[in-house]
Structure formats: structure tokens, C-alpha cells
Amino acid sequence: MSTPQLPLVLRAPADQRLETFVGNDIAVAALRALAQGDDTGTAYVSGAEASGKTHALLATVAAANEAGRDAAYLPLHAMRGHLAAALDGREAAALVALDGWDAIVGEREDETALFHFH
């Protein structure tokens, strides 16, 4: 009998919140709506390097968690080659933020896992 893996609960840095994000107010409002569950759609956050995309994703996950929703941040560069395992069991999550899509480009198993997850 195997023991299920327990999730490691990590908190985003306290300064990475939607309130401290300097950028597009419309984008912040859309991310806040996703975090609160007012919007159940999908968002794609893009921008130039060092424009705050990771901050926005971490802040959205933090806001969702603070609202009592199951949310997770997955840095794809750290998941490369293991994305299927990282996504396993996340299907029921209210919000999953996937950061760094370029890290899995060309990784057929990771791309397939993401397709099936979606």
C-alpha cells in the first residue's frame, strides 16, 4: 500500500499581491475576478521579459488561496519532464497558474500532459 504524497504548502512572497502589481488595471481586475471565482474562464498573461508576469500569477494564486479557493502556481521550468505528475490531481483545483510556457516547448510528454489537463 502506497502513501499518497502530501502537498507542500508554500506561500508567495508577501510583496507579490495584486495590490502591489504595477501595470494594466484591466488585467489586474480580470485576474482578481479569476481569483475570487467571479470569472471561471481562462487567462493568458503575456508581456516583455521582467514585466511582472510571475508577480501577477503568484498574486492571483495568493488572492485565490486567501479567498479559500484551491489554487496552485506551477513554474513550468521546474516541471520540465515531470509535468504530468505535477498536474496529477489538480483537475479539481479552482485555479492553476502555469508560468513559463516556453520551458516545455518541444517536450512531447509535457505538451501531451498539458493538453489532457486542459
Give tens-digit pLDDT for 6-19. 454 455 566 677 87
pLDDT score of 4: 52
**Rounded Cα distance, 118 and 95, in Å:** 12
83: exposed, middle or buried (C-beta count within 10 Å: 0-12, 13-18, 19+)?
Answer: buried
User: Which pLDDT score is estimated for 72?
Assistant: 93
Backbone angles phi, psi at 71, to 5 degrees: -140, 150
* First-to-final CA distance of the chain: 30
What are the grid coordinates assigned to 51, written together? Answer: 514585466
Low-confidence ranges of the chain (pLDDT < 50): 5-6, 8-9
CB atoms within 10 A of CB 12: 18
The residues with which 104 forms a beta bridge, in sequence order, are none
> In this predicted structure, what is the pLDDT of residue 16?
72
Q: Which three cell numbers stand for residue 28?
A: 489586474
The pLDDT score that the predictor gives to residue 22 is 78
Sign of CA dihedral 74, 14, 45, 90: positive
Residue 102: per-residue pLDDT: 93
The pLDDT value recorded for residue 8 is 47
* H or E, element range at 114: helix 108-117
